[in-house]
Chain A
Amino acid sequence: MAGRATSNARSLNLPDFCAARAVLAVVLIVTLTAIVLAVARQSSGLSFWLDLARSSLFLLWAGMGSAAALCLLRARLARLSLPAASALALGSVLVVIASVSLGVLWLGSSALLGPRASNLLLPVAPQSFFAASLGIGAIVGALALRYFYVTGEWRRNVELQARARVRALQARIRPHFLFNSMNTIAALTRTDPARAEEAVEDLADLFRANLNEKRSSITLKEELEVARIYQRIEQLRLGERLHVVWDVADLPMRALVPGLLMQPLLENAIYHGIEPRPGGGVVTVSGSLDGDIIDLTVRNPLPEAGEAAHAGNRVALDNIRERMDLIYPGRSSVEANRIGDEYLVRLRFPRLEDTERSLSL
């Protein structure tokens, strides 16, 4: 995912043929082509399995050679325009096929294999064999390149969309929070200038964390710090009504997490759980390490019956769920439940620690 960040929209976006994954795909395509050819030729008197073995042997050489060529040309292909790169890629595949065919013909004309093996394995009419293999190679090669290109584009689109969504949602801070904080600071500038100064610093840090696009994975320690800054600002405004209990000592603080994972949950808990309650309440943030799975839970009281609740708490949650799914595909979960008179959001995701700081989004 990370490697393709530089490729622009109009270049030939192929998988990395130096990597096992793409080579495996080539082997698969080649084998399927061999089976198609063998099935189509069943009348020729040769045994099916022998024919299949013969075609596979030839095509595997052609396929692996093409993959090697595309691997070597990778840097150059990335620099060319889409039509030029397509022509170069297909051309190099054809050159490889032509070379393998010539090799086969050379092997057949030499006496290396002995007459019996030579008859069985090698083609009889050199010109038609050469033309046929180039023709089939051009068609299969073009189809395969097209397939790799389309899948690559599709995957890239999915990633781009996801990244755009993440960015759009990350930049969001509730306007209500911003203006209320400004108002609090305006009040504090006269009554308690030192606290006003702190609040401005906290607000600056919080916005920096919110506007940060590049460093999207941060340590758990940093993320918890952002959440604590958020709490400090809200504390000025809500005073005694807001209590936050932090039970996070057991967490691996160096683990990497996507930025703005905890803070939106705390923000939601305060906005939906504390603000509507005249008497306020307690938000509990707890974390534990379950094997290699980090477990984070945020609990808040629900507004009492008859109290107006704030609408729309799904956006932040959906956003976190989506981001976690992109970063830890299939290995994370986000649960939100109403348990008794409390609302509980629980995140579970694998612990990753990396000196290079590279979660993929």
Chain B
Amino acid sequence: MIQQVLIVDDEPPARERLRRLVGELGNIEVLAEAGTGEQAVRLAGELHPDVVLLDVRMPGMSGLEAARHMALLPEPPAVVFTTAYDSYAIEAFDAQAVGYLLKPIRAEKLAAALRRAARLAGKQLAGLAASDPQHAARTHVAARLGDQVRLIPVPEIYYFGADQKYTTVRHQGGSDLIEDSLRTLEEEFAAQFVRVHRNALASINRLAAIERDAQGQYHVILRDINERLAVSRRLAGELRDRFRL
């Protein structure tokens, strides 16, 4: 069977070389190349590659983050990371037994990695995410949309709301359901979002004012959208002091 590969690297010469190496192996087809993490997640959803050769360090979305988003696909591809030198990442790859290749990549190592390439398990992904101090917070959150993954840039998000089992993301493009819990989101995006209620995290940049209605219930008003979020009494005072609302 022919293995189908997606090549992801932000540097054109690096992609070019990988394409050539893969081409020389035989029995392997390069489906496409991507220059960014976002593009890679989209192409992985559309083309269903068997393996993604994924550069760890890219501007914007890192390879580690792209792998996390790809894992939400109904049939996630196997992932082999490529890196020139990232001591943190390499330590994590070894710890999680994840396949990786060091640049400049040797043809025989590439062949071996493609033979052994495996899908990443949730535990491995969590281990990788925790290993990277520079990219602690993702640049996007991902929502399943049919057999695709929809990426929502974090700066475009107004708030996260919890609704029994699911978490809702309200963003510039509308509203989506995601699988992350409010508690993990609060931890991950502590710099950008703040807890306003047991069931909501609001974008700090968009906090406009806090109001109290006739029933004594507090609400926070968010910039740019005509929606108000309930604020718990306990947090109202804290928010006022911290953001001078």
* A interface residue numbers (CB < 8 A to B): 175-176, 178-180, 182-188, 190-191, 236-239, 241, 275-278, 305-311
15 contacts between A and B (CB under 8 A): A180-B14, A180-B103, A183-B11, A183-B104, A184-B13, A187-B14, A188-B13, A238-B11, A277-B59, A278-B36, A278-B60, A307-B59, A308-B60, A308-B134, A309-B134
Chain B interface, DSSP helix/strand/loop, else mixed = loop
User: Could you tell me if B62 and A308 are in contact, using CB atoms closer than 8 angstroms?
Assistant: yes
A26 to B59, CA, bound (A): 64
Q: How far is the CA of A187 from the CA of B7 in the complex (A)?
A: 15
Chain B residues 3 to 59 lying within 8 A of chain A, measured CB to CB, are 10-14, 16-17, 20, 36, 57, 59
9 tightest A-B contacts by CB?
A: A187-B17, A179-B84, A187-B13, A183-B103, A186-B104, A183-B104, A180-B84, A278-B59, A175-B85
The reply to whether B20 and A310 form a contact with Cβ atoms under 8 Å apart is no
Determine if A183 and B84 form an interchain contact, defined as CB atoms under 8 angstroms apart: yes
Q: Which residue of A lies closest to B37 (CB)?
A: A278
A237 & B13 in contact (Cβ 8 Å cutoff): yes
B173 contacts A by Cβ under 8 Å: no
Please determine whether B103 and A179 come into contact, CB atoms closer than 8 angstroms. Answer: yes
CB of A186 within 8 A of CB of B59, answer: no
List of B residues within 8 angstroms of A186 by Cβ: 17, 104
Residue of A nearest to B192 (CB): A306
Does B11 contact A176, Cβ atoms closer than 8 Å? no
CA distance A175 to B57 in the complex (A): 14
Measured between beta carbons, the chain A residues less than 8 angstroms from B62 are: 308
- Within 8 Å by CB of A179, from B10, B60, B85, B134, lies B85
Q: Which of B93-134 contact A (CB under 8 A)?
A: 102-105, 133-134
| Residues of B contacting A241 in the complex (Cβ-Cβ under 8 angstroms) | 59
At the interface, yes or no: B223 with Cβ under 8 Å from chain A? Answer: no
Chain B minimum-CB-distance residue to A279: B59
Chain B residues packing against A (C-beta within 8 Å): 10-14, 16-17, 20, 36, 57, 59-60, 62, 84-86, 102-105, 133-135, 139, 153-155, 192
A303 CB to nearest chain B CB (Å)? 8
Q: Is the interface of A mostly helix, strand, loop or mixed?
A: helix
* Max count, chain A CB within 10 A of own CB: residue among B36, B60, B84, B103: B84
Given A237-B13, A307-B59, 8 new contacts (CB under 8 A): A176-B84, A179-B102, A180-B11, A191-B16, A306-B154, A307-B60, A309-B134, A311-B134
| Complex: chain B residue closest to A184, CB-CB | B13
Q: CA separation between A94 and B166, bound complex, in Å? A: 94
- How far does the alpha carbon of A308 sit from the alpha carbon of B136 in the complex, in Å? 9
Q: Measured between alpha carbons, how far is A238 from B60 in the docked complex, in Å? A: 15
Given A176-B85, A306-B153, A306-B155, is A183 in contact with B13 using a C-beta cutoff of 8 Å?
Answer: yes
Q: Are B36 and A176 in contact (CB under 8 A)?
A: no
| Alpha-carbon distance A182/B85, docked complex (angstroms) | 12
Q: Are the CB atoms of A183 and B14 closer together than 8 Å?
A: yes
Q: Which residue of A lies closest to B11 (CB)?
A: A237
Inter-chain CA distance A190–B11, complex, in Å, is 16
Q: A179-B104, A278-B59 are in contact. Are A310 and B134 (CB under 8 A)?
A: yes
Look across to chain B and name the residue whose beta carbon is closest to the beta carbon of A192.
B13
Q: Measured between C-beta atoms, what is the minimum distance from B140 to chain A in Å?
A: 9
